């Protein structure tokens, strides 16, 4: 192996290490961010957000799903339930139900 090939290998290792450090840092930042998602619901036009457990001062456990347009919120046990609720606010937000009826 020539000196040039050895240097390239060392540079490659350095670049790979830097890339892995950035990936780990991004994952850690995501874990610390209490907001899982915030999206506009197609059915109602409302902004719905999903928060991790313990992210709200008054809730210690469970996920929180919030209709930001009307202030309605529900707590659920699992991330899957939270994402399902966020996908259909007509099931749990009475103001969104009224707004959807008006929109039709």
What are the extents of the domains in the chain? 1-32, 34-104
d(CA 76, CA 27): 24
Could you report the per-residue pLDDT of 7-63, keeping only the tens digit for each? 667 777 677 778 888 887 777 766 677 889 999 998 888 999 999 876 554 545 689
Predicted model pTM: 0.64
In this structure, the number of other CB atoms found within 10 A of the CB of residue 89 comes to: 27
Residue pair 67/46 in contact (Cβ under 8 Å)? The answer is yes
């Amino acid at each position: 192996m020539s000196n040039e090939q050895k240097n390239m290998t060392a540079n490659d290792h350095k670049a790979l290490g830097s890339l892995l450090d950035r990936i780990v840092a991004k994952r850690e930042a995501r874990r610390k961010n209490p907001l899982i998602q915030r999206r506009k619901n197609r059915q109602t036009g409302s902004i719905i957000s999903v928060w991790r457990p313990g992210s709200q001062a008054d809730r210690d456990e469970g996920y929180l799903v919030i209709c930001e347009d009307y202030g309605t919120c529900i707590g659920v046990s699992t991330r899957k339930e939270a994402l399902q609720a966020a996908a259909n606010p007509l099931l749990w937000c009475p103001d969104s139900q009224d707004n959807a009826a008006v929109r039709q």
